[in-house]
Amino acid sequence: MALDVQIEKKLPDFLLNVAFSASEAPLSILGPSGAGKTMLLRCIAGLEQPGRGRVSLNGRVLFDSDRAIRVPARARRIGMVFQHYALFPHRTVAENISFGLHDLSREEQASRLSALIARTHLEGLAGRYPRALSGGEQQRTALARALAIDPEALLLDEPLSSLDTHLRSQVEAQLQETFTAYRRPTLLVTHNIEEAYRLCEQLLVLSRGRVAAFGPKEEVFQRPPTREVAQLTGCKNSSRATMNADGSVEALDWNCRLRVKQTIPKAAFVGIRAHHIDFLESMPVGATSENVFPCWLVRASETPFRITLYLSLRQPVAQATEYDLQAEVFKEKWQGFRSRPYPWHVRLSPDSLFLMPE
């Protein structure tokens, strides 16, 4: 099972120019609003036509500009879940799900419908209309409709963005269950970093129509290839950097010298993710003090379970905007050191630091 994509399409603000392959591992397409994510899905599904390029699915060519091949959307065997569901308002749940099954016998339609209703946990809702469904039920109906045609690939455009926290958790569990059973090319468009990481094994980062990073999610998160990718994947801390002759790095914006495990030619930036910053009980001595620095709290911002600490590595500062690093810790840990006298001490582990080129 393989989906191979190489397309170009001129958009008002930039050229969508993307090439990648997807197989059985779910692939998340991550990027900011306006990066071209939805347009990419629509081109693959056949709802939009690229200017040039080629799209093939399991060896079957769906689009090839050089050979003038343009398979219509209805014949591509691709299921798509739209951001706002796009259910037919005057059709019931059962009718929405069965919409693409006209070529099957009534017995086959009924059998497939029954299996999909059970698979997407829509029991008891088959006769309802979309207006009588919750957001989560509408989303599950849209997913069942996409799966009804037994698609060779599945495309999902921001499937959780319109749901509240409780429903998002329910539908996310449904998607995880679906992806585990489906094991065919699956593309999930999102701008939510944590959602992308939880649901998919592969990650493609899109920026203004181009692929900024592509690969296993752990690789992209742990070793982002550029500063832009680091920021798009949620890294809050980066500094201009220069390499020293002894292999250490001078973090110019943080005003400190760092030992790093990673080495790359022409490193221009050093970064560390906020949750990788360690708070120490006291200042260690000797070799263990490597990459350990005094710090002062500038301000804090909290969520129900975690807290973000804005830290100065130089001295106490008067302005809340004058900080060097952002650290994220669970509140239980925060309660353990919030009352300690200043300066606190943080360690930037060489294993957690990463270098990026210009």
pLDDT given at position 201: 94
CA distance 195 to 188: 10
Task: Give 320's pLDDT tier (boundaries 50, 70, 90).
Answer: low
CA distance 352 to 138: 41
Read off the pLDDT of residues 148-161 as tens digits, 9 standing for 90 and up.
Answer: 999 999 999 998 88
> Cis before residue 343, ω within 30 degrees of 0?
yes
Nearest to 328 by CA among 279, 275, 278: 275
> Of 83 and 30, which is predicted with more confidence?
30
Domain with CATH 3.40.50.300 in the chain: 3-227
> Average pLDDT, stretch 238-243?
96
- In the chain, the percentage of residues whose pLDDT exceeds 90 is 74
pLDDT at res. 52: 97
pLDDT in tens, 37-56: 999 999 999 999 999 999 99
What is the pLDDT averaged over residues 320-349?
A: 92
Q: What does residue 316 show for φ and ψ, rounded to 5 degrees?
A: -60, 140
Q: Does domain 3-227 have CATH number 3.30.2130.10?
A: no
Nearest-5° Cα angle at 11, 31 to 69: 100
| Residues near 65 by beta carbon (within 8 Å), at least 6 away in sequence | 50, 51, 52, 53, 54
Contact between 249 and 355 (Cβ < 8 Å): yes
Distance CA 76, CA 62 (A): 7
pLDDT at 209 over 90: yes
SS3 assignment, position 82: coil
For residue 126, count CB atoms less than 10 angstroms from its CB and return exposed for 0-12, middle for 13-18, buried for 19 or more. Answer: middle
